[in-house]
Structure formats: C-alpha cells, structure tokens
Amino acid sequence: MEKIIGTNLGNWLVLEKWMSPYIFEGTDAEDEVWLTRLLSHEELKKRLKRHRDTYVTEEDFATIASHGMNLVRIPVPYFIFGDRPPFIGCVEYLDKAFEWAQKHKLKVLIDLHTVPGSQNGYDNGGLTGVCKWYKNKEEVHFVLTVLERLAKRYAQHPALYGIEVLNEPISFSVYMTAPSTGKARDREEAKGSGYVPMSFLKTFYEEAYLVLRKHLSEEKAIVFHDGFRLGRWGNFFRKKEMQNVILDTHIYIFAMENFVPFHAKWVYRLYMAANRRLLKRAGRHIPVVVGEWCIANRRSQKFLKGPGDKEKCRQTFREAASMQKKVWDETAGHIYWNYQLYRDREAPFEEIWKNGWDLNRCWMNGWMIE
C-alpha cells in the first residue's frame, strides 16, 4: 500500500466559521446548522454558491499535486445529497473534485464529517454543544444510507481511495474537557448530549463496513477514526475479518498545549515520543494514518513581538513540522490538517497567526513555509 501524503480540503463543503467568517456576516450563528436556521433560504443559497465555487478550484488540485502529494481528504456533510431541507446539498462539487483529482493524478478520501445531532458537539461537527446522534436509531440508519449512496456513486471511480465512516466521534475524556461542551445555543436541544460510547462505536463501525464493502472492492480502503481512543482498538478489526481498513487518528500540538503550560521544544519532543509509542502499538494490528495534524504551536507566537522576530517564528514552525513528520513517516501516512485558511492567500503573516493558527500556505508537508 502506497504511503499517504495528503492534505485536507476542510471548510469547503463543511463550514467552519473561524475560517470563513464572511459567510456568517449579519448573524450570530457559530456553526453551519444555526447559519441555516438564521438566514433566508435564498441568502444561504447565494452565500454557499459563492463560497463553494471559489474556495477550492481545479488550480488547487494542480498545486497540491505539484508538491508531491497523492491524496486529498474531503470532509462532506450528511446533507450532501440535498435531501435534508433546509440544508443545501453539494454533491455536484464532490463530483468536480473527483474529476480534478483524476486529471491531476490524486486520490480522494471521502470523509463523512457531520451527522444529524452531531457526533462530537464541535462547530466542525455542524452543531456546537450538541452531541446525541448516536441515541437516535433513525438518524443512525440515515447515516448508513448516506455512506451507502456515496459508495454506490463513486465505487468505480479510479480516483477513489476510500471512504472514512465518521469524523471524530467523541470520547468521554475529550467530551468532558472540550471547550464546546455545554455551549449549545439552545439548551433544550442539547439535553441528552454526551460522549459516544465505545460499545456503540464498534457496532456502528461493523455495520458501516458491511454496508460499504457491498459496493467497494477490496482495493478501496475503508477508514475509521479512532474516536480519540487510539490505544483501545487492539485487534478488533482483524477479529471482524475486515479487509483493507485503516485507523485514522488526529494529533495536534496545540491541543496538548491546552493542558500543558510549558511551550518549549522539549515538551513537544516528549509529546511526540509518547505518540510514537501509541502509533506503533496500534499499528501492530491495523495500518494507522495521522489524518489531521498541523504545525501550530504557542512557542512560535513568542516571536511575533518585534519585526526582527519573523524568521525565528518561521524557524519554530519548521522545527515543529520536522519533529512531527519524523513520527508520521513511521505510519501508513499523514494528511495535513487543511489546505488553506482563507481564500486570500496574500493575508499578512501576523494577521494569520493572530487568528491562532499557522501560516497561510504552510500546509505543504508542513515545512514549505512561504
């Protein structure tokens, strides 16, 4: 199996407000569900068309391929087929992505990023502070039908690498510490929210595998997020006799920094060493990819106080990229957290970091910082 070296195309078909605040202008919505509720259908349609038409284009696929990458992971919403009004579908854009990927010799990993009622309560899960999809049997079944329709539509497409069943179903520990927990706009809607139990997740993954494998040949991969529980899967997938499956885990330095007050290189090295052990242990049973990672770190922020510190800041980004990539290279692959922050690629260096993240266009394997 060829090692994955890719990038995510986030904030294209699944919105994240902090990355495209202009779409949310005139509302106080914090996520895509509430944006849909607060805007008129016509205004929503107009804003989404402008965004989807311009945020990712064929030029971007050409650029990604030119940097030696071989895959794009594309987050898609549960309403991709346009059958969940008032949400506006977007499958025609995924069709275009497949055309562009084939033309530029890239593979596509379709990632089901949201589900009705949310699987994590994050804004990128569609509905902030709400997490109770797994409790609704009808919605669980609906998600399986979405996965099946995606498999049927793209099973024979030469650009399809595989399908990721569900992005980031949340664990108990992450749910209890996530900043979005308890922050639902509608408290009544959030009642009954909680973490996604491991027992449910195993059952759902087994059902999803059977649904997808009916349509996908064994050369197409089926990917499962670890649910923030990388060390708990053991030989589950092997016991269930699943073929060509991959475990996806997401590892961020900045997430670790939320709990560790020391922003120093030695802390990052310890964090990487701990993750190397976890990845190796999990990799004994199933190929593992780091499906989201980035070079953002608070140590770099220290060097933005003076005009002469810009190069120091860039150097700390490069160091963070290098130490992570050494670990990721021991896995089945890695997919940088996102292709871009803003459509405006000329955004000033300082302004991008002030928004709390890394440089624009620094996604190219994490080291090509312009």
The catalytic residue positions are: 168, 292
- The long-range contacts involving 28-31, CB below 8 angstroms and separated by at least 24 positions, are 30/123, 30/128, 30/185, 31/123, 31/126, 31/127, 31/128
- First CA to last CA across the chain, in angstroms? 32
Q: Which amino acid is at 201?
A: L
Element (H, E) at 265: helix 265-283
CB atoms within 10 A of CB 238: 12
User: 175, 20 in Cβ contact below 8 A?
Assistant: no
Strand partners, 288: 247
Backbone angles phi, psi at 75, to 5 degrees: -65, 135
User: 320, 268 in Cβ contact below 8 A?
Assistant: yes
From CA 144, how far away is CA 134, in angstroms rounded?
A: 12
